[in-house]
Amino acid sequence: MRRPHPIAIALTALAGALLGAPAAAPAYAPKTLCTLPPGRATLAADVQHGLAAHLAQYPDLSLATATERRNAERLLSRLRVATKHWRDLRVARRSGFDTHLAKRPPGDDAVGWLHAEHRRFSADRHVLDPNRPEALIYATEPGHAPILVGAMFSVRRGVAGPTPAGPIARWHSHVVCVRKNKRGLAPRADGTCPSGSRKTQGSEMLHVWFTHDLRSAFAVHAPVPELCRDGLLGARACRTGAAGHEM
């Protein structure tokens, strides 16, 4: 049996300390692309790592132990408090988050999802630290100031994210094209990679949304109905239906 990666062990120990509970050391992340079992549209609900397109949108809370549920609640609660001052995009920018908004093409009035990355937090050894999320997530609508709707944690490529919250907080990844040790990029529209790069499974990430219920707070993609319900998306976007996408 392959021994866990040293970085993975250290990250898990830190996550356990932050959440107030120990967690089992994660296995080394797979080097090959995950595939769905025959006849399944999504991975089983107790699977805690997988491609974003293969995981069910919402976790099954009934599969979590009491300790795992408390850990999920604690992470969400601490993250709300720690990120409160970053609701102001200017404060987030001064704190080191990349809040650059891409220019919209004419006529584009769709809701966007800005992942404002913090390069220093992304490169450090902290994981699941509410005070050091790798990215903040803002909903962007024309005519409205960006609204902080969640945060994202991530780990280095090749390391499986720790799971002190069990099947509630599932880590997802994407298929990416990589060239040596450079950051992975999305494949071309036809699914192929540029010459000199290879297709692989990217680094793992975990979204946490600031909705009012635990189930939607740990959705894989933006939980649009609950974001609307809880006033985190504008009325127009909720009337027209904000488009969700693989994040």
Res 238 pLDDT > 70: yes
Give the C-alpha separation, 107 to 31, whole Å: 41
Q: How confident is the model at residue 114 (pLDDT cuts 50, 70, 90)?
A: very high
Contact 204, 49 (CB under 8 A): yes
Mean pLDDT of 240-245: 60
Instruction: Kindly state the percentage of the chain with pLDDT values over 70.
Output: 80
pTM of the model: 0.83
Q: Which two tokens stand for residue 80?
A: 């709300």
Q: What is the pLDDT of residues 76-107, one digit of tens each?
A: 999 999 999 999 999 999 999 999 986 766 66
Sheet holding 205-209, edge to edge: 49-51, 171-173, 205-209, 147-154, 135-140, 112-117
Mean pLDDT of 50-55: 93
Query: Worst-scoring range by mean pLDDT, 79-83, 105-109, 120-124, 134-138?
Result: 105-109
pLDDT of res. 10: 45
User: Which DSSP string do the residues of the chain spell out, in sequence order?
Assistant: -PPPPHHHHHHHHHHHHHHTS--PPPPBPPSS---PPTT-SS--TT--EEEGGGS-SS--GGGS-HHHHHHHHHHHHHHHHHHGGGGSHHHHHHTTB--PPPPPPTT----EEEEEEBHHHHHSS--S-TTS-SEEEEEE-TTS--EEEEEEEE--TTBPPP-TTTTSS-EEE-EEEE-TTSPPBPPPTTS---TT-EEEE---EEEEE--SSHHHHT-SS--HHHHHHTT-S-HHHHHH-PPP---
Res 158 pLDDT > 60: yes
pLDDT of res. 76: 98
Q: What is the pLDDT of residues 174-220, one digit of tens each?
A: 988 888 777 678 888 888 898 888 888 888 999 999 999 999 999 99
78 contacts: CB under 8 Å, gap ≥ 6: 130
Q: How confident is the model at residue 234 (pLDDT cuts 50, 70, 90)?
A: confident
81 contacts: CB under 8 Å, gap ≥ 6: 130
Q: Which residue has the higher pLDDT, 194 or 162?
A: 162
